[in-house]
């Protein structure tokens, strides 16, 4: 009688809803060195990227849990089936390794993000202390492609000067023929010189 009562208790301990397990893992991760603001930023769904390997593992874990539940119900209907017990043991091991792998991937992702943030902060501190380093590294304050006018202010003026020089009339001004703007090959040669 005691063995039949211990099996259902064992079953409830091993198989928990996956959402509760994930919630516990996230609580463990958030209690690290992060501040409350960083935790709230991490919860922002708009800024989070897809995590395909973690999602695949979560799907695999849910599938393994469903199969394990089916085997438990099969074992309850057929109590003397050794093959079902072997499959249950095998699935438990697979489930355990999958959960360990998922935990490792989550911890690695958190550690990598923490490392990237730390390196970014250190680089910003160094650039604030020495503006020459910021200029040499070509770091910008804004995100995205810089405007050509701000990045190379004299480039457009130089292109216009090269295109207009000698394009208005004949070189010796003997005739009134008007030439078009210089060709790209000619302007490239002038830029190289």
- Answer yes or no: do 39 and 8 share one domain: yes
Give the number of other CB atoms < 10 A from CB of residue 71.
Answer: 20
Task: Note the pTM of the prediction, 2 decimals.
Answer: 0.49
- Answer yes or no: do 50 and 88 share one domain: yes
- Answer yes or no: do 131 and 154 share one domain: no
Q: Which contiguous run of DSSP H or E holds residue 50?
A: none
- Residue pLDDT, tens place only, 132-167: 888 888 777 778 887 777 777 788 788 777 766 655
Rounded CA separation 105/51 (Å): 10
Residue 155 lies in a domain: yes
Confidence at residue 153, expressed as pLDDT on a 0 to 100 scale: 76
């Amino acid at each position: 009688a005691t063995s039949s009562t211990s099996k259902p208790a064992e079953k409830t301990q091993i198989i928990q809803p996956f959402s509760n397990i994930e919630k516990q893992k996230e609580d463990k991760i958030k209690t690290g060195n992060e501040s409350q603001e960083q935790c709230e930023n991490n919860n922002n769904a708009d800024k989070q990227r897809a995590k395909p390997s973690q999602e695949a593992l979560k799907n695999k874990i849910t599938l393994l849990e469903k199969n394990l539940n089916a085997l438990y119900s099969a074992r309850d209907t057929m109590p003397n089936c050794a093959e079902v017990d072997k499959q249950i043991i095998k699935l438990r091991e697979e489930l355990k390794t999958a959960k360990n792998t998922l935990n490792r991937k989550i911890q690695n992702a958190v550690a990598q993000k923490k490392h990237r943030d730390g390196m970014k902060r250190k680089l910003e501190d160094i650039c604030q202390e020495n503006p020459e380093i910021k200029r040499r590294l070509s770091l910008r304050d804004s995100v995205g492609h810089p405007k050509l006018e701000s990045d190379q202010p004299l480039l457009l003026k130089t292109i216009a000067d090269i295109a207009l020089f000698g394009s208005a009339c004949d070189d010796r001004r003997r005739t009134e023929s008007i030439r078009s703007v210089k060709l790209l090959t000619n302007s490239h040669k002038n830029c190289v010189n």
